[in-house]
């Protein structure tokens, strides 16, 4: 079996973390895993991972805060951010911070490994042919305002001039597909 670069899996879902770690080990990767931000911060300097699979939401904390420590430990680290609530705003933020790729859950190990190999998008790629739906634009806007208010629901509702319960109901729904 060909030796693969060391990898770090950071996800608070114990089943997903365990299964992904096991599959990656079977494929020849040296894998360490963490279930919390604190656990990840302790592992990052020791592993100096060349690749990292990072959940966007780790037990209520932003996984994006781990991008800088991962890159500080190994500037060549390739980071794939996973999320169950994908939005354009968080994808842009992850890439700006240094993530290599951003994938929406559910995903599989083949998609994750392909994301590690993917380079930056081609500049001559055509733009999408269909615009986003109004519902999807609303979802994206809410996510951006929520992020600007550090996840504070009440503050976000005031900024959107919306009742807090209405905002909570909208946030309980899955994002609208394009």
Q: Given this model, what pLDDT does residue 132 score?
A: 61
pLDDT surpasses 50 at 153: yes
pTM beyond 0.75, yes or no: no
Ranges for all domains in the chain classified under CATH 1.10.10.60? 134-172
The Cα 177–Cα 39 span in angstroms is 34
The Cα 99–Cα 69 span in angstroms is 12
With beta carbons less than 8 A apart as the criterion, state whether 6 and 47 touch: yes
Tell me what the mean pLDDT of segment 142-150 comes to.
Answer: 81
C-alpha angle 88/94/97, rounded to 5°? 140
DSSP of 129-141? SSPPPHHHHHHHH
**pLDDT tens for each residue of 80-134:** 998 877 777 788 888 889 898 888 877 888 888 888 887 654 445 455 556 667 7
Ranges for all domains in the chain classified under CATH 3.40.50.2300? 7-117
Q: Is 18 exposed, middle or buried (0-12, 13-18, 19+ CB in 10 A)?
A: middle
**What is the fold of 134-172?**
Arc Repressor Mutant, subunit A (1.10.10)
Q: What is the DSSP letter of 76?
A: T
**pLDDT tens for each residue of 39-81:** 999 998 888 889 999 998 888 788 889 999 999 999 999 999 9
Class of domain 7-117: alpha beta
**From start to end of 98-139, where are the E strands?**
101-104
Tell me what the mean pLDDT of segment 142-166 comes to.
Answer: 87
């Amino acid at each position: 079996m060909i030796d693969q670069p060391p990898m770090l899996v950071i996800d608070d879902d114990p089943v997903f973390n365990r299964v992904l770690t096991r599959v990656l080990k079977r494929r020849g990767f040296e894998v360490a895993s963490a279930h919390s931000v604190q656990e990840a911060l302790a592992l990052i300097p020791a592993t100096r991972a060349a690749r990292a699979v990072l959940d966007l939401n780790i037990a209520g904390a932003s996984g994006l805060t781990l991008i800088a420590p991962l890159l500080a430990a190994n500037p060549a680290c390739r980071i794939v951010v996973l999320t169950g609530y994908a939005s354009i705003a968080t994808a842009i933020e992850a890439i700006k911070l240094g993530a290599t790729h951003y994938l929406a859950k559910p995903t599989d190990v083949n998609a994750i490994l392909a994301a590690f190999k993917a380079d930056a998008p081609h500049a001559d790629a055509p733009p999408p042919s269909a615009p986003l739906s109004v519902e999807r634009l609303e979802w994206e806007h809410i996510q951006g305002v929520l992020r600007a208010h550090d996840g504070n629901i009440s503050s976000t509702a005031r900024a959107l001039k919306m009742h807090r319960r209405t905002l909570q109901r909208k946030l309980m729904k899955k994002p609208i597909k394009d």
